[in-house]
Amino acid sequence: MSKLGQAKRIIFLKTADGQLFEVDEPVAMEFEIVKSFFDENEDAADDTVVPLPNVSAEPLAGIIEFCKAHVEFRANGAAGKDEVKKFNAEYIKEKSNEQLKELILAANYLNIKEMLDFLTETIANRLKNKSVEYVRAFFGIENDFTPQEEEAVRKEYEWAFEGVDED
Amino acid sequence: MARSTGNNNTNLLRLVEERALSKKVEEEQKKQEIGVPYFHKDCISNILIRLPLQSLSSTRFVCKPWYGIINSANFINAHFHGSESVLIFLKSVESLPTASARPEQPNTFSVEASLLQQNSFSIFDHPITNSTSKFCIQFMYFKEGKSKSEEYKVSCLGNIRATCNGLVLLDNRLKKGGLVVMNPVTRKMVALPVGTLYPPHDESYGFALSEATGEYKVVHLFRDSLGYISCEILNLGTRFWRGVNGPSFGLFGWFGYKPVSAIGALHWIPEIDASEYIVSMEVDQ
């Protein structure tokens, strides 16, 4: 690497489940957490491995795929064009709710603003007009209202439960 | 003796079974805890902020922390700033479906019935609630270059006098000259005290939000027989009408155009046609 001098730099990332990823520098710099790691340790060696204790391999691979495409879009001046929308739609199409949740948790930890915005929007779209029970199941949230409390608030907002989509 | 041993044995067996069962339950709970990833409050809040109001009203009952997020003033403010403007209008409904008017939807909220309930009047004293000329409140929005209209499932008898940020200023048909401000999404409403009474063609109402104070204000202009125009303003927080100086004599020729609220002021077109100026009134002062 040092011999080539100008060759593109590779960043090494290690996931919680012990996998090592080699990522092109511009893509890795999309992760705010990685960027600030190198900002704070300017003299870090080229082969420094950045540990990512909160991210496992599967979501990280998905995130790298997304960020790589978006870095290229920006380089080609295609940002904000239909091409990007098409990629995003394709990207999210085959993702299950579980995968989506893992992605957003990882993107949140890595602090990737663009991707986080996109995932947040996607999840919001999947939750739109869904029943309370569906939303609870989606996030694995326990209902902590007592039956009495729930009945009282439901009565007050009775109309709010009309027009809910089938789960 | 033998019998009692047998009893002991079954007791023991039951105990072991119960223990195994409770262990299993515990393990399952543990599994669930691990399986359910922890979402940061900000992360949840960012997702919820993108949901339409109709979804939010039921989503607030998911759990108590969410109820807290959605009902917080910060969230309401942020959600409002992220929401798009819609056009609010009335459509007449009739109890019997005709070609021109659609029948009323089930579970429609009636402004008048709710007002009567608030004031604990008897519905029978008010023949007006049986009136057939009823309106339902609808809204129109634009998506991908197309307009779509939807219903709030709210019906009323009076006209819309003005709207501001999704709040509607309605005629209160149960009280002569009375007005109601309502939020058709949350169905909350508040009746306003009666101001100066004037026939509708000699008055104009404006409804605006003062960015400086964060208060909603209702502006009422009315014209006497000599053509002088007076003005009174009601602050939605205090709900008192207070007189202020009206526009100069001769500025208004016609009151038919409803004012528009923009950049901290209300703007009227003062003539029916060929207006060479607009009349504006600052609301921040």
**Pairing of the two strands B109-110 and A20-24:** unpaired
State the average pLDDT for chain B: 79
Number of helical H runs and strand E runs in chain A? 8, 3
Pick the residue with more confidence: A44 or B23? A44
pLDDT for res B33: 45
Band of residue A8 on the pLDDT scale cut at 50, 70, 90 = confident
Do residue B40 and residue B91 come from a single domain?
A: no
Is some CB atom of chain A closer than 8 A to the CB atom of B50? yes
Rounded distance, CA B170 to CA B180, Å? 5
Split at pLDDT 50, 70, 90, the class of B145 is: confident
Predicted confidence at residue A6, as pLDDT, reads 54
Chain A CB contacts of B48 below 8 Å: 124
**Cβ–Cβ contact B47 with A under 8 A:** yes
Residues B225 and B279 reside in one and the same domain? yes
Instruction: Return the minimum-mean-pLDDT range out of A47-51, A144-148, B2-6.
Output: B2-6
Chain B contacts of A163, Cβ < 8 Å? Answer: 54
Burial of A151 (0-12, 13-18, 19+ CB in 10 A): exposed
Q: How confident is the model at residue B35 (pLDDT cuts 50, 70, 90)?
A: very low
Q: Tokens 């599994």, residue?
A: B31
CB distance A141–B63 less than 8 Å? Answer: yes
- Name the closest residue on chain A to residue B109, using Cα atoms: A159
Domain ranges of chain A: 10-127, 132-161
Q: Which amino acid is at B134?
A: K
* Number of CB atoms found within 10 A of residue A48's CB: 13
- Asked which of A50-54, B79-83, B200-204, B247-251 is least confident by mean pLDDT, the reply is B79-83
Which pLDDT score, from 0 to 100, does residue A103 have? 93
Q: Element (H or E) spanning B120, and its range?
A: none
Same domain, yes or no: B130 and B208: no
Label residue B207 by pLDDT band (50, 70, 90). Answer: very high
pLDDT score, position B149: 85
Ordered strands of the B178-183 beta sheet: B160-164, B167-172, B178-183, B188-192
Chain A residue whose CA is closest to B50: A124
Q: Is B61 at the interface with chain A, CB within 8 A?
A: yes
CA nearest to A164 within chain B? B55
At residue B231, the pLDDT reads 92
Quote the DSSP letter at residue A43.
T
CA distance B233 to B283: 10
The contacts of residue B152 (CB under 8 Å, 6+ apart) are B136, B137, B138, B139, B184, B185
Contacts of A111 in chain B (CB under 8 A): none
Mutation target for A interface from B31, B32, B46, B56: give the one with most A CBs within 10 A: B46
**Residue A46: its pLDDT value, please?**
76
Residue B26 sits in the same domain as residue B103: no
Chain B residues near residue A103 by CB distance under 8 angstroms = none
pLDDT at A3: 44
- Residue B10's SS3 state is helix
Considering only CB atoms, A135 lies closest to which of B37, B57, B62, namely B62
End-to-end Cα, chain A, rounded Å: 53
pLDDT given for residue B1 in this prediction: 44
Can you give the pLDDT at residue A61?
94
Q: Which domain holds residue B164?
A: 84-194
- Chain B: closest CA distance from residue A119 (Å): 9
Report the mean per-residue pLDDT for chain A: 85
Residues B73-117 have pLDDT tens digits of 788 878 877 777 778 888 887 655 555 555 566 677 888 888 887
Tell me whether residues A105 and B37 touch, CB distance under 8 A.
Answer: yes
A to B CB pairs, distance under 8 Å: 79
Contact A161 B46 (CB under 8 A): no
CA distance B74 to A134: 26
Please say which residue of B194, B222, B255 terminates a domain.
B194
Compare CB distances from B57 to A130, A142, A160 and report the shortest one's residue: A160
What average pLDDT does range B50-62 have in this prediction?
82
More confident residue, A152 or B10: A152
The b/e string for A20-41 (b: 16+ C-beta within 10 A; e otherwise) is ebebeebbbbbbeebeebbeee
Q: What is the pLDDT of residue B2?
A: 47
**CB spacing of B58 vs A159 below 8 angstroms:** no
Question: Are B46 and A163 a contacting pair at CB < 8 A?
Answer: no
Q: How much of chain A exceeds pLDDT 70, in percent?
A: 89
User: Do residues B97 and B131 both lie within one domain?
Assistant: yes
Q: Which of A138-152, B78-92, B182-196 has the lowest mean pLDDT?
A: B78-92
- Which ipTM score applies to this complex? 0.81
Question: A94-139, pLDDT tens digit by residue?
Answer: 899 889 999 999 999 999 998 999 999 999 999 988 888 899 988 8
C-alpha–C-alpha distance, residues B4 and B157, integer Å: 80
* B93 and B187 both lie in a single domain: yes
> Residue B43 and residue A143: Cβ atoms within 8 Å?
no
Choosing from B158, B177, B194, the residue where a domain stops is: B194
Class of the CATH domain delimited by A10-127: alpha beta
**pLDDT value at residue A1:** 42
Nearest CA in chain B to A135: B62
Supply B239's token pair. 């709900």
What's the rounded mean pLDDT across residues A22-47? 88
Distance (Å, whole) CA B205 – CA B233 = 10
Can you tell me the distance from the alpha carbon of B56 to that of B22, in angstroms, rounded to the nearest whole number? 38
Residue A113 pairs with which residues in a beta bridge?
none
Cβ separation of B61 and A157 shorter than 8 Å?
yes
Selecting from B37, B67, B107 the residue whose C-beta is nearest the C-beta of A101 gives B37
Give the pLDDT of residue A57: 93
Number of compact structural domains in chain B: 3
Q: Chain A contact for B210, CB < 8 A?
A: no
Q: What mean pLDDT do residues A4-14 have?
A: 75
Same domain, B179 and B104: yes
